[in-house]
Amino acid sequence: MAILRIALPVPKRQLFDYLLVGQAPEVGVRVRVPFAGRQLIGVVFEVSEHSEWPLEKLKAVSSVLDSQPVLNPVQMQLCQWLAQYYKHPVGEVVHTVLPVALRKGGSNQARPQQMWTLTDEGHKQDIDTLSRAPKQQNALRQLAKQPLEKTMAAKTLGAGVIKALADKNLVQLVSHEVSHDASSKLSFTQQIKLQSKPQANVQQAIAISCIEANLGRYGSFLLEGVTGSGKTEVYLQAIESVLLQGQQVLVLVPEIGLTPQTVQRFQQRFGIKVGVLHSALSDNERLQVWQQSAAGQLGLVIGTRSAIFTPMLVPGLLIVDEEHDSSYKQQDGLRYHARDLAVMRARSENIPLVLGTATPALETLNNALSAKYQHLLLSERAGNAQLAHQHVLDIRQQVLQFGVAKGMLDRIDQHLQQGSQVMLFINRRGYAPALLCHQCGHVEQCQRCNKPFTLHLSLHRLQCHHCSEARAIPRCCSQCQATELVSMGVGTEQLEQGLSGYFPQYRTVRIDSDSTRGKQKLDTMLNKINNNEYQILIGTQILSKGHHFPNVTLVVILDVDGALYSADYRAAEHLAQLVTQLAGRAGRADKPGEMWLQSHEPGHPLLQDLINNGYAHFARYALLERQQANLPPYSYQALFRAQAATARLAHDFLQQISHLFSQQSGIVCIGPIPALMEKRQGQYRMQLLLQSQQRSVIQQAISQVMPQIENLGNSSKIRWSVDIDPQEFS
Ligand code: ADP
Ligand code: ZN
C-alpha cells in the first residue's frame, strides 16, 4: 500500500493524499481519483508511506492512467517552481502545462509516425522512364534516398504527386513506432539537409560563436539588433550547430509572428519537419507535437507562449524571439511570463537561452547591463538598409481630416506618386470610439463596463471593446430622443474610409483584429501587400509585429499622446518599442523611409530622446527614471485583483489583505484603488499593489499570508487573483 500525493486541478494550494493498493507508480504519472463527488484527473507528485491524515480518512485512487510519466523530471521541477513563484495552486499549474488531450485523460501512447517509402515495385522501377512526369520522377528519387514523414512529403513533394505514385503502387505508407527510448531517438538527425547560408558578418559571427561556445551549459544572451540586422540568421546558424550535435531546439515567437513564412524559413534551411504550436491547433495536433518532441523525433519546435512547456528528449537550445512582446505574459489563470520561465527552464536543462529583439524590455536590458546576461549586439542592417528617419509633427491648432493633418496628406500623396507604399498606424479599431448625441451630449455606454460603445459601421452596430456586448446602432438618443447622433474620434475603419475617398486612385487595406479574423486571412493580406496590390496600409499593433514591408517609405503614427499621459508606467516603454519596430519594418537599402509621429506635445522629452537618439539611448534613460522612481526592475511588484458585484465588496476584501501585509516588514502596500477599467461585464474591479526592494521579501511575505487570504470570509462573493510581476493594470 502506498500513499500518493497528487496535484489536482482545484483552486487549492496543496497536494492531496490518496491510497493505492499495489505497486506504486512513478512520479509524473496521471491518476483518476474521487474528489468532492466527482472524478478528477491529477498527476502524482510524491509517493510516500506516511500521511498527515489518518489512513481511514484517505480515499483510494480509482485508476492509474499511464505506465510512463507524462511529465519528465525537469517539467515536474518547473511546475513546482511555477506554483511557488506565481503563488498558484500546483494542480492548476499542471493543468495549464499539460496539453488538453492529456488533461482530459486521453492516451499518451503516441500514434506511430506515417512515412512514405518505396514499394518493392518502386525499387525495381527505372526512374528515368518517368521523365514525362518530372515531379513524380523527382519525388521517387527523393523517397529512394530516404523515407519521408507524411505531412512533410505532402508539403515538399506535393500531395497529388504522392498520390499518383501510390496509385501506381510505387510508394507506400509505413508506420514508425514512436519510442521514448534514447537509442532509437532523433530520427530528425538523418533527415537534416542543409541549405546554403549567407556568410555571417563580423557581429553575427561573434554572436554565433558566443552562443556556440556555451552549448551544453546554462547561459542567457540578449541578442539586440535592429530589425533586418540578421538576428534570425544568427538563430539559424546556432540552431544548425545544435541540430548537428543531435540536440533539439525550441523557439518561441509572439502570437502574431507565427506565420507560415516564419515556419518555412526554418523548415527550408534544415530540410526537417518543424513542430508548430499555436492557438488554432486542434487538441490532437497539439498532443502530437508534444509527443514527438518528447520522443526526440522533432529537431525543432516553434510556438507561441505555451510552447515553453513542450518537453524535449535531448534539449540543446532555447530561443525567445521578440522577447519584449507582451503576448509572452499570460493574463489570466496562471499568470506566468514565458520569457522568465524560459530562463528557469534553460537553467534546469543546462542549455543556453537566446533572447532576441530590436527593442529589449527594460527588465531584460537591465539584466544585460548588469552582466546577468551576455549582451550581443547587431548594430547594422544586413544589406545596408537604412532605418526610417523619425520626426514629430506638431498638430496643435491643425485641421485634422479623419485624424490626419493636412500637411501629412500632402506628404502621403508624394510618396504614393513615387510608387511607394505608405502605412498609417492607429491604436483603435472600429469607426469611432464613441457615439454622441449632438443635442444633449449623452454618450452611448455599455452598462456592464461603463465605457463608451465603439461604433462599427461595417458591422452596423455598437460594440463594447471590453466585453464584446453589441447592439444595433440607435436612430435616436436614448436620453432625449433627438436624432442627431455624431461619432467622436477616429478608428481604423473611419481612417480607411477617409483615405480611400481622398486617394481614390490607390488601393487601401485595413489590418486589425476585425479584418484579419479567420485562418490564413492575415497571411493572404500580407502577401498581397508585398505584391504591391495595396498602396495604403492602415492598421493597429499587428502591423508592428514580425512582418517586413520593404516598399513602405512613409509611416505615420496618428496619435502618440495617449501613451505619454498613461497611468501605466510601462506605456512609454511600449510606445518606444512600437515606434522603433514600425520604423524598422519599413524601407530598404535603395528606398530609405521616413516616419512621422503626430503629437500635441512635440517637445515631450521622451519623444525627443527617442527620435533623436534611438531606442537604445531612450531605454537607458527610461531605466534611470525607473530607478529614481523605485519602479521595476529596481523593485518587485505583485498585484492583487478583486472583482465583485459592488465596489465596496471588492474594496473591503483587498483592505483585509492589506491589513495582513501590514505586519510584514519591507513591503509597501498601495491601495486598494480602482483598476484602470473600474467596471467590466457588470463587475467592479479593485487592485492592491505590493512593492518591495527585494524579490525574496515579497515572495516570502505572500507565501506566509496566502493561507490567511484563502480563509478570508466573504470570498465566495469575490473573484480574486494574484499577479506576480504584473505587466498591466487595466
Ligand atoms: P532580423 O531577424 O534581425 O530581422 P534577418 O535574419 O531576417 O534579420 O535578416 C534580414 C535579411 O538579411 C534576410 O533576408 C537575411 O537573409 C539577410 N541576411 C542576414 N544576414 C546576412 C548576411 N550575413 N549576409 C547576407 N544577408 C544576410
Ligand atoms: Zn462592456
Compute the distance from residue 581 Cα to the ligand 2 centre, in Å: 31
Is pLDDT above 50 for 507? yes
Average pLDDT over residues 371-395: 85
Is pLDDT above 50 for 695? yes
Q: What is the pLDDT of residue 320?
A: 98
Model pTM score: 0.87
List, for residues 246-277, the tens digit of each pLDDT value: 999 999 999 877 777 788 889 989 988 899 99
Structure confidence at residue 183 as a pLDDT band (50, 70, 90): very low
Give residues with Cβ within 8 angstroms of 209, minimum separation 6: none
- Among 345, 423, 727, which Cα is nearest to 582's? 423
200 lines ligand 1 (CB under 6 A): yes
Average pLDDT over residues 141-160: 79
The CATH code for residues 389-432+489-625 is 3.40.50.300
Average pLDDT over residues 624-632: 94
Alpha-carbon gap, residue 8 to 11, rounded angstroms: 9
Buried b / exposed e over 467-504, threshold 16 CB at 10 Å, is bebeeebeeebeeeeeeebebebbbbbbbbbbbbebbe
Give residues with Cβ within 8 angstroms of 36, minimum separation 6: none
Compute the distance from residue 453 Cα to the ligand 2 centre, in Å: 8
More confident residue, 549 or 190: 549
Compute the distance from residue 201 Cα to the ligand 1 centre, in Å: 10
Average pLDDT over residues 87-109: 93
List, for residues 208-254, the tens digit of each pLDDT value: 999 999 999 999 999 999 878 899 999 999 999 999 999 999 999 99
Whose alpha carbon is nearest atom 19 of ligand 1? 230
List, for residues 531-576, the tens digit of each pLDDT value: 999 999 998 877 777 677 888 999 999 988 888 878 788 989 999 9
Is pLDDT above 50 for 286? yes
Average pLDDT, the chain: 89
Record: fold of 636-724: Alpha-Beta Plaits (3.30.70)
Give the atom of ligand 1 at the shortest distance from the alpha carbon of 233. Answer: 6
Is pLDDT above 70 for 648? yes
Q: What is the pLDDT of residue 429?
A: 83
**Cell numbers at 202, concatenated:** 563580423
Give the atom of ligand 1 at the shortest distance from the alpha carbon of 229. Answer: 3
Ligand with the closest atom to the CA of 234 = 1
231 lines ligand 1 (CB under 6 A): yes
List, for residues 311-333, the tens digit of each pLDDT value: 999 999 999 999 999 999 999 99
DSSP 178-203: ----GGG--THHHH--PPP-PPP-HH
Least confident of 18-22, 111-115, 121-125, 183-187: 183-187
Record: fold of 192-378: Rossmann fold (3.40.50)
Give residues with Cβ within 8 angstroms of 420, minimum separation 6: 535, 551, 552, 553, 554, 591
Percent of the chain with pLDDT over 90: 57
List, for residues 26-85, the tens digit of each pLDDT value: 999 999 999 999 999 999 999 998 888 888 899 999 999 999 999 999 999 999 999 999
Domain boundaries, the chain: 2-103, 113-177, 192-378, 389-432+489-625, 636-724
Q: Are both 2-103 and 636-724 of the same fold?
A: no
Compute the distance from residue 682 Cα to the ligand 2 centre, in Å: 8
Structure confidence at residue 184 as a pLDDT band (50, 70, 90): very low
Give the atom of ligand 1 at the shortest distance from the alpha carbon of 382. Answer: 12
377 lines ligand 1 (CB under 6 A): no
Q: Rounded to the nearest 10 degrees, how much is the dihedral formed by the CA atoms of 465, 467, 470, 476?
A: -70
Is pLDDT above 90 for 393? yes
Q: What is the pLDDT of residue 177?
A: 60
Give the atom of ligand 1 at the shortest distance from the alpha carbon of 235. Answer: 6
Q: What is the pLDDT of residue 225?
A: 92
Whose alpha carbon is nearest atom 12 of ligand 1? 382
Domain boundaries 2-103, CATH class: alpha beta
Buried b / exposed e over 214-237, threshold 16 CB at 10 Å, is bbeeebbbbbbbbbbbbbbbbbbb
